[in-house]
Amino acid sequence: MTGQWPGPPQQPGQPDPWPGTPQGPVGPPQYPGRYPMPPAPQEKRPVPADVVTAFQLWFVVAALGVVYLAAALFFVHSDRSSFVDQLMDEFAKQNIDPLPTRTEVDQLLTLGLVATGVILTLVLGGLTILFAFKMRKGKNWARMLLTMAGVFTVFSAIPTLFGAGAGSGTAALLMGGAGILQAVAAIGAIVLMHRKESNAYFLNLPPAPPAR
């Protein structure tokens, strides 16, 4: 028996010339290099208006946080003489030799305030904006993190709202105003993120049928 393929397919009523051999390819024809078509992509759900508004409010919260931080650093810098005295006393207690001069301590304090302001602005503001973008894309974990940050912001502003620990001067008033406005914006963002349409968006629930 040779390795050639048998002749044409057997016609009805004719004997099989090659018993036990297949008469042709079995199953549908296969084409090399062809792959099944990928499934159709799911339709992207629109972002609810409440989520968009909450996204914008978180930018307001981040901006007010920068204002609050700048006012706090300015408040400390304006009263830096008392802080310099405290640092000088600490250095003297630690028997540092040679003891830094008052000018050097003043420069060190100023440099520390600037570095602290830049780092906190980049870290806190950057994380807030990053989580806000993730929240707008429907990430529920980002919504939870922003909710916890907003609750912390609100509780931090309660003493200022009732006048506890309020200082005097322009910087103190700016800190108080920025803190209260930041808490109000955070409350609005939290409420909007947890409304009915927002919950359906974050939990990927099917859209509600139209009312009849």
114: Cβ contacts below 8 Å, ≥ 6 apart: 73
Q: What is the pLDDT of residue 95?
A: 74
Contact between 8 and 22 under an 8 Å Cβ cutoff? The reply is no
- Cα distances from 143 to residues 66, 117, 147, 201, in angstroms, run 21, 26, 6, 11
Cβ burial 123-160 (10 Å sphere, 16+ → b, else e)? eebeebbebbebbbebeeebbebbbebbeebbeebeeb
Between 8-17, 47-56, 195-204, the lowest mean confidence (pLDDT) is in: 8-17
Terminal Cα-to-Cα distance of the chain (whole angstroms):
77
Contact between 136 and 52 under an 8 Å Cβ cutoff? The reply is yes
Mean pLDDT over 56-68 rounds to 93
Mean pLDDT over 124-146 rounds to 94
Mean pLDDT over 17-33 rounds to 55
The DSSP element (H or E) to which 156 belongs, if any, is: helix 140-161
The closest of 100, 83, 82 to 91, measured between CA atoms, is 100
If you average pLDDT over each of 83-92, 150-159, 166-175, 202-211, which comes out highest? 150-159
Q: What is the pLDDT of residue 143?
A: 95
Answer with the residue of higher pLDDT: 19 or 82.
Answer: 82
Mean pLDDT over 19-39 rounds to 55
Q: What is the pLDDT of residue 94?
A: 78
Answer with the residue of higher pLDDT: 124 or 191.
Answer: 191
Answer with the residue of higher pLDDT: 206 or 124.
Answer: 124
132: Cβ contacts below 8 Å, ≥ 6 apart: 55, 58, 59, 62, 142, 146
Q: Angle at CA 157, nearest 5°, toward 126 and 160?
A: 135
CB atoms within 10 A of CB 177: 15
Question: Predicted confidence band at 199 (pLDDT cuts at 50, 70, 90)?
Answer: very high
What are 99-124's pLDDT values in tens digits? 777 788 778 878 887 888 888 888 98
Mean pLDDT over 65-89 rounds to 80
Q: How far apart are CA 12 and CA 54, in angstroms?
A: 75
In the chain, the percentage of residues whose pLDDT exceeds 90 is: 33
Q: Is 178 exposed, middle or buried (0-12, 13-18, 19+ CB in 10 A)?
A: buried
